[in-house]
Structure 1
Amino acid sequence: MSGAPSPVPPPLDLAAIRAQFPILAERIHGKRLAYLDNAATTQKPESVLRALDDYYRHANSNVHRAVHELAARATTQYEAARDRIAAFLNVTREECVFTRGTTEGINLVARSFLQPRLQPGDEVLVTGMEHHSNIVPWQLAGAKTVAARITDEGELDLDDWRAKLGPRTKLVSIVHVSNSLGTINPVAEMVREAQQRGIPVLVDGAQAIAHEAPDLRALGADFYAMSAHKAYGPTGFGVLFARREHLEAMPPWHGGGDMIRTVSFERSTWNDLPYKFEAGTPDMSGAIGFAAALDWIDSVGMARIHAHEQDVLAYGTAQLADIPELRLVGTARHKAGVLSFVMEGAHAHDLGSVLDQEGVAVRTGHHCTMPLMERFGIPATARASLAAYNGRDDIDQLAAALRKAHRLFN
């Protein structure tokens, strides 16, 4: 019925989920591991480990341009992975360029799409919460980076963002989910508004795809970059979605094998999409492992993962609010599972060391968001970040360790 609320997904069987992640059985300094560093990288389930092992044991070969059986197996699995990834994102396979990760995807757009279009004084509009990989590539390409303000709560000031959309704005590049704050930006609205002014949009989806069901066709962004290892897949592999019309117009940015159709000493011509942008031996195991990770996400259910993480996030927010001298950094109304904090009298690195001794893994530092740290007047935070296998017991272990830290430092 129109307007009816979405059904509440059934809860996760947390014990069954955890049993699929061998590393969670590790003991750290004699303590149970509470792994809360998922915004840096997630752990890998058995199904992904098996897919990687199976590839190397039974199909390891370079893909394409060979007729022997192992090459055929490798090529079949590799191209099936592209189909799987495209289906997960609701785009065509030709629009899925394989990269080393989000950072390389953004650099590809900066050099191949933006740089040829730039004139002196042209701008890329970002936000004050961007990762360095969504700032530095635009500067290297020759653009001026302009950042929209964020509020004390860590939310984007949309009025300021709109005011900075101007005639010199050649691209909008926005983070979907902040790695430091957990803030979920209204990217669909921002894509619409920018494109109404004829401005293309790139979305940094590194922190989003493991927590929110992606439909890139519905979102309508021109580009969307992601990394496999933030979504239960292997490291060193990523995907750049780019609309076909852009890819057809963009020149290659790396040259070498497999991205060419013909080569002579006088000139070369380029392969079809997406191979035009995939020079050299590809990361076959990375693609296969990422496809297996997406299968795992679908087997659990993105709606169930999201609901579970939101429950743990709410519980963690309440628990950390009771820790003396602790302040949460980033309290946006719409957040993914990130809890960043500082404690009076303790540097973030010292906090991280105490937590590690208690078996709690968090990330400390500026999280590649130095302008954001400057905005809040702090050098660093400690950051606990959630995945499907985290539960309230991880939060309890974190809170107990933080109370111990408070006694040491205050």
Structure 2
Amino acid sequence: MIRLMKKISFPFHKASTARRLVLSLSVIVLTGGAAGESLTPAYASSPPTLVSSTAASAITPKTLTLKIDGQSFTLPGGISKDKTTYVALRPISERLQLKLGWSQKEQGWTLLGRNTSFTVRTALPSTLRHHYTVNGQSIWGPTPSLVKGSLYVPLRFLLESFSYELNALTSGVFTANKLPMNELTVKTKSFHELTRTSELDVQYPQIDGFRDRTVQDKLNQYLEARVKELAAQGRKELATYQGQYADENLYFIQYFIKHNQKDRLSIILESNLFQGAGYAFPTRFPVTFDLKTGEVLTLQQVAGNHPSYKAIINKEIKELFSKKYGPLSKPFESISDDPLFYLHNNMLVVFFPVLDYTTRFFDYFPEFRFPLSTFQQ
């Protein structure tokens, strides 16, 4: 059963109410230089005015001190009302040695580097939903800011998009380090089905450029099969709605790359349903691959086959669950034999569905992090 919550602010716009079915398949291949992409250099003339403008986030200017890969420097930045740290786009792109230019195709400023493409828009054309596109996927993120003609973006969001690990602020200095990456490229496939009464919007990852084509094909086939299952479930959910317009009946699928290091790849597929006056709680489907074999790894394997891995995890979660997330709807006893988990840098992250144990929606997916060194025998 899908549980609905009352309508809240959400990062997706309402769909158009076209009366015909539109089914499209697009493939965006992204490499360090994004084949076929034409970028106007950042110092060129201003980009054209977009169709519709969206108010940029207001920030209070502040000089940031950063230490990235051992080198210290200052850059113009700012702080938003919700305490998000922003950084000026052009100076940070130069420091990270990323190519910056205007992308007519993406209708925004695009950074290229480290097998990643990152586009930010301060205004949205009528055909686009989000301020950001990362590796071909349109995603929501903190609103960019314009200050005296300079574009500012959230510091953590930008760095993590390019596989940098940003550590906690220490003595006024932000420290970040470049993370190793597997030699592969992520591309985004998408399809879109629109009728007068429903909309299905799907984005999912495919792997390209990996050294072992057999393993690459195995991963892509797994991901495509999983997405087809989720899309089929979405069509069933959409068919149950009795509303009149597609902007009241939306099911969408997106993805997150959580870990791409040392021959392991962790991905989360997330599905969301919006119907009428409410949103269904999102559902996440994590998968961690062994890039040497193409096999899907279990939690036990990721934990190094430690004989007491479940006991270690259970003990920590029992001690922290109510402290981190307040009163529980039911007592926690143990993780299942097939728990939800993913890798993130050197951490194993175990998580639970929304409201499975917690009583507050804003707790979202309760997570518990364990250093992989915890399971060394």
- Identify whether the pair has TM-score above 0.5, normalized to the shorter chain: no
Bigger relative contact order, structure 1 or 2 (CA pairs below 8 A, ≥6 apart): 1
Shorter-chain TM-score category? under 0.3
Of Structure 1 and Structure 2, the greater helix share is in 1
Q: Structure 1 or 2: larger strand share?
A: 2
Question: What TM-score comes out, normalization by structure 2 length?
Answer: 0.26
